[in-house]
Amino acid sequence: MSNVEEISSPIIGVKPWFEAADELRARDYSVIAGESIAEWAGVSLEQWEDFAEYWNRLTPDRFMGDGGTYRLRRYGQFETASDGTLRQLPHASYEQPSYINRLNGGIAREFEPLESGFAQHAILHNILNVLMMIVNDVEWVFTPWNVKLHPYRIVAKPDAAGQPTPEGLHRDGVNYIVSMMVKRANIIGGESSLTDAQRTPLDRVTLAEPMHLMILNDENTMHEVTPVSPVNPQTTAYRDVLVIAFAKVFND
């Protein structure tokens, strides 16, 4: 089912991956330290820095309903094959219904595709394998998934805060949603708030270090992120994340 081996004796500070699955099943979300993801996926900090370079080549989001120019992104999607491996799907537009995304929903948004080096990168696939292992464990069975990838850069300027979630408290209309920190550069803010489906607060989390992530049952929770501002107004400031959406594929 997966190319990632289960860790039988995790190092201090790194919990076994199945504890994250147990948390997600029990309370509809799990927050996982970057060191755990790095250990499970076999990623060194030097390798991560190479992977993070792709965020320097994201392109402007031209579909911001608020007129904002603070978001850079690309987009692509995969599906699981019958053997559990991932295959990239042809590039297509991205669309959400308006009741899910009040700001940018209801239109087909044409984003630049993922770079081939990004889409084929071993780090990306190792991390996706780990995440599929977790969500399949929650589902109790191997599940075919459509996996949408959204690498984002939110730029913060002295006169204009960057908005990680300009649509406000929301869900994404999928089964599971993952937000993973790539890099914070010269920013303050960016705290994630999690609620249940009735908007009752569950937790507040600031994703801080590389690979630090939260995975949510998107059907039962909602989330939003506070604006980000520069610490030093004379220096470039941004928040890089990778958002990964898992939606079940129902074959006839």
Query: C-alpha distances in angstroms, 89 versus 74, 147, 188, 190?
Result: 14, 10, 36, 31
Query: pLDDT for 117-153, tens place per residue?
Result: 999 999 999 999 999 999 999 999 888 999 999 999 9
Q: With DSSP H G I counted as helix, E B as strand and the rest as coil, what are the percentages for the chain, rounded to 5?
A: 20, 35, 45
Residue 71 has pLDDT above 70, yes or no: yes
* Positive or negative torsion for Cα 48, 211, 75, 206: negative
What domains are defined for the chain? Answer: 17-248 (2.60.120.620)
Strand order in the sheet with 221-225: 201-205, 192-196, 221-225
Q: Compare 7 and 72 and report the one with higher pLDDT.
A: 72
Q: What's the pLDDT score for residue 7?
A: 30
Question: Residue range 243-248: average pLDDT?
Answer: 96
Query: pLDDT for 151-186, tens place per residue?
Result: 999 999 999 999 999 888 999 999 999 999 999 999
Q: What's the pLDDT score for residue 3?
A: 39
Pairing of strands 187-189, 237-248: unpaired
Question: Residue range 196-220: average pLDDT?
Answer: 97
Query: C-alpha distances in angstroms, 48 versus 5, 35, 70, 217?
Result: 20, 12, 24, 26
Q: Which two tokens stand for residue 17?
A: 């991956």
Q: What is the mean pLDDT of the chain?
A: 88
pTM for the whole structure:
0.89
